[in-house]
Amino acid sequence: MDAAILWAFTLSLALPGIFLAVRKAWVILAGIAFLIAGWGGLIAIYVVQNGVSLREFLRQALSVIEGFAYLPQIYSLLLMVVSLAGLWVLLTRTNRRTRWGAFVGTLLLWSFYLAAAAFTGVPPDRMFSFLSAFLIIAGIYAVLTLGLNIQWGYTGLFNIGVAGFFGVGAYVSTILVQDPAKMAVGAGLEGFFATYFNQPFLVGFVAAMAASGLTALVVGFATLRLRADYLAIATIGIAEILRLIAANEQELTEGNRGIPNIPQPLHECLVIPVREAPPCTLLGIEIPRFLEPAQYNWFYLVLVLGVIFLAFLALERIARSPWGRSLRAIREDEDAALALGKNTFRFKMQAFVVGAVIMGAAGSLWAHFVKFVDPQIFDAISRTFLVWVMLIVGGTGNNRGVILGAFIMWGIWSGTNFLNDVLPPTLETPIGRIDVAAQLFGPIRIMAIVIILELILLFRPRGLLGEERVTSTMIEPKELRPASAPESHSHPPASKED
């Protein structure tokens, strides 16, 4: 009964957010009616079969739901589902009434979920703490996927070594920003923090981007003359080499034991200390401490969103420039672009380096958020495979779609964490007993991602938001022009004599 109640409760909360993204009003109404009828039928069957009153059933169900460990995370994810569904409608619909309906529907569903959280005894601080952490990690993945989009979406560079550039940015930023004087060295850990430089976060952030770009420059000279599958094999090999270097190097990366307690930007200047601390000054100006430790994540979220905004504006600008159109020409037919006089190797190198620079920025943000880095940061599943899925689901070649896909897929990836509380601990099979948590949890998560990817490829092969048709800011689409406005020409039409 407990598992059935939890699954029914979660599904019923998730469906309104899904209905919000559906185009037809009758589908939304039919879905809500089906939801109400289904809940009513299940409650009636249970009450009749067990001979309990409706009040007793609600009391039992509420006790089961309140005892669910992952309930705050579920509410947070549902808030994200509603927000993403509303954002999708705003980005894909042009009708003003539809957009306003999506906005109002999003606000109403947010109110409904917050009321449901209060009714089921979920503390708001726990729910919003998970929500802020979720948004930060999804935002970092959005930055990482934007870097891949400039390589694959615009230029057609099949880079399977995303984790390598991500890890380089994380390690370089950590090495420069880490403060050895404030780290406790235990027995047997002499020299644990002997090679770090205690620089400001901004120095580490810029250096991370520069190091990833320099790495891409070196790798590009060796690999960019390869095409398609050969380039993919080369880049994944480079990423594995970087992982092995990080795992075996002791003077800088500390090998497999990793680097803990990485400083966070302005943490000491903004967070109220537990003990008395000297005042924090920046450029001679004293900064008042006003944040509780649990509130710092919201400041970090603003920082991540700022990086997303700047990266998005930069990529939109360069993608709609002559340089961006040259990249798309190389993607569509490199031989034709070469025949037209384009130096395709130079353009591919530039796109490869720009994408790696953005990936390095994502690595720096990740390291300073989780405050720990080790060779697992080069993990191909979560740093390369998942990023490619985000790119394909959101829409290759569309920066807005890339950001949307990153948030959606990270929601699905992190939303499977509570499966361990719902699935049985062991499962008896004809081939023996299976430890579900150890043997099935990982494959189930990967299968969920693969199934979603297959559905996207079948029903929306261009992604949720396909590639935009307009490639220049100087070109106005015909459908957006006033009906009475004649087509403009930059010069008068040529005469017949010409």
- Calculate mean pLDDT across residues 352-366: 97
pLDDT for 440 beyond 80: no
Give the rounded percent of residues in the chain with a pLDDT score beyond 90: 37
- With helix as H, strand as E and coil as C, how does the chain read? CHHHHHHHHHHHHHHHHHHHCCCCHHHHHHHHHHHHHHHHHHHHHHHHHHCCCHHHHHHHHHHHHHCCCCHHHHHHHHHHHHHHHHHHHHHHCCCHHHHHHHHHHHHHHHHHHHHHHHHCCCCHHHHHHHHHHHHHHHHHHHHHHHHHHHHHHCCCCCCCCHHHHHHHHHHHHHHHHCCHHHCCCCCCCCCCCCCCCCCCHHHHHHHHHHHHHHHHHHHHHHHCCCCHHHHHHHHHHHHHHHHHHHHHCCCCCCHHHCEECCCCCCHHHHECCCCCCCCEEECCEEECCCECHHHHHHHHHHHHHHHHHHHHHHHHHHHCCHHHHHHHHHHHCHHHHHHCCCCHHHHHHHHHHHHHHHHHHHHHHHHHHHCEECHHHHCHHHHHHHHHHHHHHHCCCCHHHHHHHHHHHHHHHHHHHHHHHHCCCEEEECCEEEEHHHHHHHHHHHHHHHHHHHHHHHHCCCCCCCCCCCCCCCCCCHHHCCCCCCCCCCCCCCCCCC
Q: What domains are defined for the chain?
A: 2-122 (no CATH), 126-459 (1.10.3470)
Q: What would the pLDDT profile of 158-198 be if each residue is shown by its tens digit?
A: 999 999 999 999 999 999 998 877 665 554 555 555 578 88
The 10s digit of each residue's pLDDT in 23-32 is 555 555 666 6
pLDDT at res. 480: 46
* Residue 261 pLDDT level (bands cut at 50, 70, 90): confident
Model confidence at 208: pLDDT above 70: yes
Taking residues 118-130, what's their average pLDDT? Answer: 78
Residues 311-328: pLDDT tens digits? 999 999 988 899 999 999
Q: Is residue 241 scored above 50 in pLDDT?
A: yes
Question: What integer pLDDT is reported at residue 79 of this predicted model?
Answer: 81
